[in-house]
Amino acid sequence: DVKVTQSSRYLVKRTGEKVFLECVQDMDHENMFWYRQDPGLGLRLIYFSYDVKMKEKGDIPEGYSVSREKKERFSLILESASTNQTSMYLCASSRDREDTGELFFGEGSRLTVL
Amino acid sequence: GNSVTQMEGPVTLSEEAFLTINCTYTATGYPSLFWYVQYPGEGLQLLLKATKADDKGSNKGFEATYRKETTSFHLEKGSVQVSDSAVYFCARIEHGSSNTGKLIFGQGTTLQVKP
């Protein structure tokens, strides 16, 4: 089975802490994405990457950064967590740049910032 | 602007009822359209898609037809089951010089099916 694995299902952090969310895919996909999911707002794109060491801002990048040192791994970093970053974070991957839009999602990481 | 709008939920139905979840989009051109489903405790997975006008996507008894005249992609199922209880997301692809393959999602519609 193809798989996107997110390292933590549930995290609780304090305001100001640095937070790392890890995502690994085993499908040799070129593209990887980080979304956040909030009730009534659907999924909003934070950052995405089309290649190793390459990143592009999505719609809501403020307060976040990413790292893609290896093709299979895409990390989301909250440099200084704030309460408004309490959310469900979803990682996804897709095959290549001309892909027709089929994304494969991880199960999500629910982050609570106190 | 470019967006995807779904009907608000939750939608509550009895088993074997007919389901419609409305989705409309705004975009320049004719983007590919998708329905994703998120079962409780899981990530999203692709349910069906349509890549051009008048195409009908179908899977697991669900259908959606790409209607360019009404810019809609409504999801339908003739007879829902309790196992269809989930959150459904409509999405469209965003084309552009640096955005190929990026999806724009609607806000999601929760479906609850009661036995």
Per-chain mean pLDDT for chain B:
90
Which of B21, B35, B49, B103 is the mutation pick for testing A, counting most A CBs within 10 A? B103
| Residue of A90, A94, A101 lying closest to B44 (CB–CB) | A90
Phi, psi (degrees; rounded to nearest 5) at A94: -145, 165
Q: Do the chains contact at A102 and B46, CB–CB below 8 Å? A: yes
| Residue of A41, A94, A105 lying closest to B44 (CB–CB) | A105
Q: Do the chains contact at A43 and B98, CB–CB below 8 Å? A: no
Using one digit for the tens of pLDDT, what is the confidence trace for B31-83?
A: 889 999 999 988 899 999 998 899 999 999 999 999 999 999 999 999 999 99
Chain B hits for A105, Cβ within 8 Å: 43-45
Chain B hits for A92, Cβ within 8 Å: 43-44
Picking from B83, B82, B81, B101, the residue whose alpha carbon sits closest to that of residue B92 is B101
What is the C-alpha to C-alpha distance for residues A101 and A15, in angstroms, rounded to an integer?
35
| Residue of B4, B93, B98 lying closest to A101 (CB–CB) | B93
Q: How far is B68 from chain A (nearest CA, A)?
A: 18
Whole-number pLDDT of residue B98: 46
What is the C-alpha to C-alpha distance for residues A63 and A77, in angstroms, rounded to an integer?
9
To the nearest whole percent, how much of chain B has pLDDT over 70? 92
Omega cis (within 30) before A39? no
Picking from A35, A44, A110, A42, the residue whose alpha carbon sits closest to that of residue B109 is A42
- Interface check B97 vs A, CB under 8 A: no
Q: Flag the least confident range among A46-60, B6-20, B83-97.
A: B83-97
Query: Which two three-digit tokens encode residue B95?
Result: 């084309």
Mean pLDDT by 10 residues, chain A (114 residues): 87 97 94 91 91 90 96 96 97 76 90 97
The answer to whether A47 touches A76, Cβ cutoff 8 Å, is yes
Query: Helix, strand, coil shares of chain A as percentages rounded to 5?
Result: 5, 50, 45
Whole-number pLDDT of residue B97: 42
Three-class secondary structure of residue A83 per DSSP: helix
Which residue is closest to B10 within chain A, CA to CA? A40
Q: Do the chains contact at A102 and B106, CB–CB below 8 Å? A: no
| Residue of A33, A41, A101 lying closest to B49 (CB–CB) | A101
DSSP B10-79: -EEEETT--EEE-EEEE-SS---EEEEEE-TTS-EEEEEEE-STT-EEEETTEEEE-BTTTTB--EEESS
Whole-number pLDDT of residue A1: 65
Whole-number pLDDT of residue B95: 65
Grade residue B100 by pLDDT with cuts at 50, 70 and 90. Answer: low
Beta bridge partners of B90: B35
Contacts of A46 (CB under 8 A, 6+ apart): A34, A35, A36, A58, A59, A60, A61, A64, A66, A76, A89
Whole-number pLDDT of residue A42: 87
Chain B hits for A46, Cβ within 8 Å: none
